[in-house]
Amino acid sequence: MSADEDMDVPEVLAKIPRRRWPRHIAVIMDGNGRWAGLRGQPRVMGHRQGAEAVQRIVEECARLQVSCLTLYAFSNENWQRPADEVEALMALYEDYLRQERPRLLAQQIRFRNIGRRSDLPQGVLREIEESERVSAEMKGMTLSLAVNYGGRQEIVDAAREVARQAAAGRLSPESIDEHVLDDMMYTKGLPDVDLIIRTAGEMRISNFLLWQSWYAELHVTQVLWPDFSASDLHLAIADYAGRRRRFGGLDKEGGPHEA
Ligand code: FPP
């Protein structure tokens, strides 16, 4: 991919050849609760401000022609939070999907949800399906929202599908390889994750994209998600571009995608 001539590339990225940019960025959006706590506000205010950051970062990634952006919005484990917080988050996703749809389309963004759809409230499910339907033919960035997502659960679902196909005689044990499994993940068709950004300082993966991020580079920032800005995104991309990706091999000349 070559950078669009008239795209206003931020200074920190201007000298980095496009082949060194990440194709697939995934974000663990953490720190909403802390952001609210620091201001003496209820946690839900942090999530609302977090939704503003989502809009900002989606827009900037699309503008920079990043191929894929995947956002961790709600994990399988997040159901353990107090019922009123879960309810507020679900309402926020529903509103976000409905309100942002025209903007996503205007930016040529293809939307998809990753995660188990069972257990999601009807309203959220309806908006997910509608956003997927109307954006299916879009040719710009793919935005994946992980709602009711768990990396282990995704692998379990893939294993179930393998077993179903094997039982039906459509798959033999010998033909199962990484490509077969890759096609059974929720992220079917997307490239592996190149860069995981985690806000708010914790150094863990938290059950996010376990299969897809096998050789992803990690960028952890202390910035709380509601404060995460376009400049923070640029710094993360520049940090990634400076890494030497060896994929278990030895150093080679060239960019991250040449190894
Ligand atoms: C983690 O912060 C964040 C979440 C569990 C939810 C992510 C949700 C958003 C960013 C809001 C809106 C998203 C969309 C797609 C509209 P935390 O509550 O765990 O923060 P803490 O660790 O500081 O308590």
Quick: pLDDT tens for 121-153.
999 999 999 999 999 999 999 999 999 999 999
pLDDT band at 244 (very low <50, low <70, confident <90, very high): confident
Atom of ligand 1 nearest to the CA of 224: 23
Spacing, Cα 30 to ligand 1 middle (Å): 6
Neighbour count for residue 53 (Cβ, 10 Å): 24
Q: State the Cα–Cα distance between residues 88 and 46, nearest whole angstrom.
A: 11
Ligand 1 within 6 A of CB of 208: no
Ligand 1 within 6 A of CB of 30: yes
Over pLDDT 70: what percentage of the chain?
Answer: 95
Ligand 1 pocket mutation, candidates 29, 41, 148, criterion most atoms within 8 A of CB: 29
Write out the catalytic residue numbers. 30, 78
Atom of ligand 1 nearest to the CA of 145: 15
User: Residues near 151 by Cβ (< 8 Å), separated by ≥ 6?
Assistant: 205, 207, 208, 209, 210, 211
Q: Kindly state the average pLDDT of the residues 200-229.
A: 98
Q: State the Cα–Cα distance between residues 123 and 126, nearest whole angstrom.
A: 5
Ligand 1 within 6 A of CB of 94: no
Please report the pLDDT score of residue 59 as a whole number: 98
Q: State the Cα–Cα distance between residues 205 and 218, nearest whole angstrom.
A: 9
Closest CA to 154 of 188, 111, 121, 177: 188
Please report the pLDDT score of residue 249 as a whole number: 85
- 26-82 pLDDT per residue, tens: 999 999 999 999 999 999 999 999 999 999 999 999 999 999 999 999 999 999 999
Parallel, antiparallel, or unpaired for β 24-28 and 217-220? unpaired
Spacing, Cα 180 to ligand 1 middle (Å): 33
Please report the pLDDT score of residue 253 as a whole number: 53
**Nearest CA residue ID for atom 14, ligand 1:** 51
Spacing, Cα 37 to ligand 1 middle (Å): 13
Atom of ligand 1 nearest to the CA of 47: 11
Q: What is the pTM of this model?
A: 0.94
- 146-205 pLDDT per residue, tens: 999 999 999 999 999 999 999 999 999 999 999 999 999 999 999 999 999 999 999 999
Ligand 1 within 6 A of CB of 31: yes
Residues facing 195 on adjacent strands: 25, 217
Please report the pLDDT score of residue 1 as a whole number: 46
Q: Kindly state the average pLDDT of the residues 212-233.
A: 98
Closest CA to 23 of 258, 231, 247, 192: 192
Q: State the Cα–Cα distance between residues 83 and 72, nearest whole angstrom.
A: 19
